[in-house]
Amino acid sequence: MVAVTKLKSNSTIEARNNYSRAIAIDDWIVLANTAGRDFKTRTMPADAAGQAEQMFRNIEGALAALGSGLADVVRARVSVPDPADMPAVVAVFAKKFQGIDPVGTFTCTPLAGPEYKVEMEVTAYRGAGTAPTKRLSVVL
């Protein structure tokens, strides 16, 4: 039998639009596009690096609630509307995922409003962070 857990963050947007912050299906976890808004205070830093840091706190909290963490992330999709903000966001990404090295996709695309500097969607597999890992390096 498949075990499904749907995680809500009590966001008004999630409630209004009928979606979950994350869904765990057995050991797979899919996390919705997540911005850098503090879920408790509803505030958001004005700069891209600050939003990226808060975005990671939001993602880490959702993953922890499902018995996982950043080490289990196998794929990350990052959206940054302004190419000028990309270096600041990538610096935070690189720091948070050092040694984890998930598959990463970075795009410059509009978000829900002009105040949003970054959003990220992740896929994780519980236990991936502690599994034996083989690292290959090839020239493609």
pLDDT digits (tens, 9 = 90+) for 80-116: 999 999 999 999 999 999 999 999 999 999 999 999 9
Per-residue pLDDT, 9: 85
Query: Six-digit token pair at 32?
Result: 């919705």
CATH of 4-130, one of 3.30.1490.120, 3.90.1150.10, 3.30.1330.40, 3.40.1260.10: 3.30.1330.40
**Whole-number pLDDT of residue 15:** 83
Residue 12 reports pLDDT greater than 90: no
Q: What is the residue extent of each domain of the chain? A: 4-130
For the sheet with 28-35, list strands across it: 4-7, 22-25, 28-35, 119-125, 73-79, 103-107
Q: What is the pLDDT of residue 132?
A: 95
Q: Can you tell me the distance from the alpha carbon of 40 to that of 32, in angstroms, rounded to the nearest whole number?
A: 18
Return the pLDDT at 66. 98
Pull the structure tokens for residue 34.
């997540």
pLDDT at 102: 98
Q: pLDDT for 118-127, tens place per residue?
A: 999 999 999 9
Q: Could you read off the pLDDT of 15-61 as tens digits, one per residue?
A: 899 999 999 999 999 999 999 999 889 999 999 999 999 999 999 99
